[in-house]
Structure 1
């Protein structure tokens, strides 16, 4: 099961959602993200949120259009996106992609980045028009070259022990990377596949491209 969650972030940083739409995908709308999906011609199978960012009339229309809509109080201990993500994890989704979760308010951005901790290695992807963000724990990982996303950066979320990069323009061999380091920003793959491995820590990988 592959789940795509569209949150209510600014639409100007969204990729073309139709490129991610196929019959094997389960779409979820979060708050205003439901309207974003409908504007793209995609009817989500579930919707979550307090819907405080849309009008009462829009909410009533959604209640008649959608098969499942879960309305939550505005005062709660989780964000709407967190609630939708936890539902997807409970369904044991093999891949979860988050859209509409970047841009705009920085507290929302950093909160959504923190949600990556809830999944397994690379299970959750945070995607916008220029970036694909995943989180990885210690071990060895394979990364395939994507010509569209030229740059591959590694950001330490904890101190990283013995980071090794193979198949990259700037390789590393068992190098410790402390918090606050920019050593691994803007690397590039030089082969069809590369690997990164480390013995301790949590690492964020960002695949990115320049805006055209």
Structure 2
């Protein structure tokens, strides 16, 4: 079963982004309010709930309440729970808001959960280890590739292609490319993050 972990800041077009049928939905902290507002069934809530304005929303809901003094984020704990039950986990939200430190921490999640997918209104983020992957030209106009650890990659089918390029973690070269038709990404060594973005 697919697990969907919904984090603040919750995208406004939530139901248009992902299907909420036959899935297990986890609300992370204050995201619970947005899920209830959108009439989306919630199977569990995880967080310290320090930013949840209405604690009554937790009534009759399976809840894992975290200590506010902790070493990992609420999102990390929710993903730990999700991946302990499924290999198919999508995180919705958590990319934009007033706390850019949370954005950075959420991108670091790919170090721990390489099969994770994160989506919001304008972006889809995934990571890839050794293998060959294809991406069709769809609603995402741009893509960027960054290295989680030093990687050897090749691309074809994009505006700017790479051949056996050794990408370091500090390398910004992979920023803002475009798919011409079908993008093929080959990761010969390492682990990369691919961010696809709409205009």
Whether the TM-score (by the shorter chain) exceeds 0.5 is yes
Cα 1:133–1:71, aligned 2, differ >3 Å: closer, same or farther? same
Q: Aligned pair count?
A: 197
CA deviation after TM superposition for structure 1 residue 8, in Å? 2.4
Aligned counterpart, 1:206:
195
The alignment status of 1:179 with 2:133, answered yes or no, reads: no
CA deviation after TM superposition for structure 1 residue 7, in Å? 1.3
Q: Is the 8 A contact 1:153 1:184 kept in 2?
A: yes
Aligned counterpart, 1:78:
72
Distance in structure 1 (CA, Å) of the matches to 2:77 and 2:144: 29
Q: Quick one: which of 51, 59, 62 aligns to 1:64?
A: 59
Distance in structure 1 (CA, Å) of the matches to 2:39 and 2:66: 25
Distance in structure 1 (CA, Å) of the matches to 2:175 and 2:113: 23
Q: Is the 8 A contact 1:48 1:83 kept in 2?
A: yes
Q: Quick one: which of 90, 106, 109 aligns to 1:112?
A: 106
The alignment status of 1:170 with 2:160, answered yes or no, reads: yes
Equivalent residue runs for 1:7-22 within 5 Å = 7-9=7-9, 11=10, 14=11, 16-19=13-16, 20-22=18-20
CA deviation after TM superposition for structure 1 residue 145, in Å? 1.6
Distance in structure 2 (CA, Å) of the matches to 1:184 and 1:94: 28
Q: Is the 8 A contact 1:2 1:25 kept in 2?
A: yes
Aligned alpha-carbon RMSD (Å): 1.7
Answer 1 or 2: which has greater helix percent: 1
Q: Is the 8 A contact 2:45 2:58 kept in 1?
A: no
Give the TM-score normalised by structure 2. 0.90
